[in-house]
Amino acid sequence: MCKNKTNRSLFHETKLANINVKNRLVRSATWENMTTADGHLTKDLYNIYEDLSKNEVGLIITGYGNIVKEEQPNPGMMGIYDDSFIDEYKKLTNMVHRYGSKIIMQLAYGGTKTKFNVGERIIYAPSEVPERSTNVLGKAMTKEEIDYIVNAFAEAGKRVKDAGFDGVEIHGAHTYLINQFLSPYYNKRTDSYGGSLENRMRFLIEIYYKMREKVGKDFPIFVKLTATEFFEGGLTFEETKLICKKLESIGIDGIEISGNIHGKAKSMVGQSFDGYELKEEGYFLEYAKIISNIVNIPIITVGGFKDFDNMEKIFNETNIAYFGLSRPLLAEPNLIKRWKAGDKKPAKCVRCSKCRTPEGNYCTIFNNKRRV
């Protein structure tokens, strides 16, 4: 239950695991499409993160990084698949830290949630079930291939630590590979990785344990999860609650609750799934509230937030600890600095999702900044 929460400010310094964060506002992971072809950083990308950190973002979660060279769900996404990336990420983390912000790196294996270079590479999946939005069919993984990806996540996590990041986030949402293992719709396996929820969780849990071996007991590891899959036969919220409890029990430092409705959330506001309604201010808020009451680790909620006063009200009335923003910061990179200075008008972002362009994510209305 909530205790002693009246009139707490989102701008008070806080501790997320062992990370001292200057406020409760998080830049959630955003694919910028600004790397080189093989995932290395560019001046444009450094500039994006400098803008975020100097404009008072408390915690930055990077766009997802691919953990094996041969698997890149989208063009222009960050790489972290070998040691050649460590020094350039050190430059990034040092720059962010100079402005007092903290930064964690998100790691992902995209799998069949892709339309990039399909047919030119092997794409792993738990089972041969086409992804609903892309219709891409992957290769059902052998035990050796599962071990390969588990180890790749762990090695990437070690590089994240060596590069000076404050923590790492494992992407287990949005129909990427880990989410597909969790999902009864996509996971039709009959071995120890399929069937029961305990078995479907095994892949994610093995990734966590192997990564923990590599980074040590004190380096923060977070997980991003889909609250519910919003379709019949998919992962349910009841299962997600059990996954969250399991993750807490094995040592995960925090959980980000998201969904898998890119570009469709605004049209789905007011609809109910698994008994909870999607909200205009915080699409997955109802799910995050419930989870924040059943675990004792920090919960980050994301999706649709643009009103500071509303977020602060939610913060004071619930156990939700952090609020993730992405599109509003594309529209107004100085948004959090503006709020801190006392101008609490809602973000300009109109939630049109036109920022999701083939060239990457950028605001096409208010802040038309992209690579030229």
Out of 49, 176, 186, 193, which one is annotated catalytic?
Answer: 176
Decide: 128 and 111 in contact? Cβ < 8 Å: no
DSSP codes, 194-206: SSSHHHHTHHHHH
What backbone phi and psi angles, to 5 degrees, belong to 60?
-110, 130
Q: Which residues pair with 276 in a beta bridge?
A: 273
Decide: 96 and 121 in contact? Cβ < 8 Å: no
Alpha-carbon distance of 239 to 51, in angstroms, equals 38
* Catalytic annotation present for 176: yes
> How far is the first Cα of the chain from the last one, in angstroms, to the nearest whole number?
50
Determine the number of helices (DSSP H) and then strands (DSSP E) in the chain.
Answer: 12, 18
CA dihedral 234, 238, 242, 248 (to 10 degrees): 100
**Residues recorded for the chain:** 372
Q: CA of 230: how far to CAs of 19, 150, 179, 285, 370, in Å?
A: 33, 27, 13, 15, 32
CB atoms near residue 238 (< 10 Å): 11
Joined together, the tokens standing for residue 63 give 């766009």
Q: Which residues pair with 38 in a beta bridge?
A: none
Q: Which residues pair with 61 in a beta bridge?
A: 104
Joined together, the tokens standing for residue 15 give 């501790």
Which amino acid makes up residue 211? Answer: M
Q: Known catalytic residues?
A: 176
